[in-house]
Amino acid sequence: MDDPGILLVEDNGDDEWLALRVLKKAGVSQVTVARDGAAAVRMLHGDERSGAAATCCPGVVLLDLRLPRLDGIEVLKRIRGDERTKGTRVVVLTSSEDPHDKAQCRELGVTEFCSKPFTTQCIAELGLV
């Protein structure tokens, strides 16, 4: 069975570099990166306007909340609202302790949070490998 891999949705270059480094060291090779919310949704669901098909079907989405174009909460809503991805595991990456953000994520069925930057410890705690 193919490794469905991980979709990392992150707009900050440093955080992306750190996460990729940690995942690579942990042996995760199948990682796709989206640098804004709209790009992530296009990868997961395709683009109706251009007719482009979905390009990514990850086992886990590592999702930053503060994203340009489409913020993380909106991406999460779209993921949960689509038959193809409503059951996909989503881990929310966060730098803030905003209780509203976390409450919204919980309402959308996400209970896994990870403080940024993404570390080896996060991989172990989430059992990603």
Partner 1 sequence: MAGTGIVGDVDGEMTPEEARRLIVELRTRGDELDLENAALRRELAGERSSSGGGVSSNERMLRCIIDAVSDLIYVKDRHGVYRACNKSSEKFVGMPEAEQFGKTDYDFFGREMAESIREVDRQIMESGMECRAEEWVTYPDGTQVLLDTVKVPYCGPDGEIAGVVGISRDVTQQKRLSAQLAELNTELERRVQLRTLELERLNRDLESFCYSISHELRAPIARLDAFSRVIAECAAEGDFVEMVPVVARIGVSSRRLRMVVDALLQMHRLSRADLNREDVDLSGMAQQVVDELMEESGTDGPTVSIAPGVTVWGDCGMLRVCLRNLLGNAIKYTSGAPGAVVEFGRDDRREGRPCFVRDNGSGFDMTHADKLFEPFCRLHPEGEFEGDGLGLATVKRIIERHDGLVWAEAACGKGATFYFTLAGR
| Residues contributing to the site for partner 1 (CB under 8 A) | 11-15, 17-18, 21, 35-36, 66-69, 95-98, 100-101, 115-117, 119
H/E stretch holding 15 reads: helix 13-25
Q: For residues 74 and 89, which CB has a smaller minimum distance to partner 1 in the complex?
A: 74
Rounded CA-CA distance 60/76 in Å is: 12
Task: Provide the minimum distance between the beta carbon of 98 and partner 1 in the complex, in angstroms, as a whole number.
Answer: 4
Task: Provide the minimum distance between the beta carbon of 101 and partner 1 in the complex, in angstroms, as a whole number.
Answer: 8
Task: Provide the minimum distance between the beta carbon of 120 and partner 1 in the complex, in angstroms, as a whole number.
Answer: 9
Say which DSSP state 128 is in: -
- Neighbouring CB atoms inside 10 A of 46's CB total 16
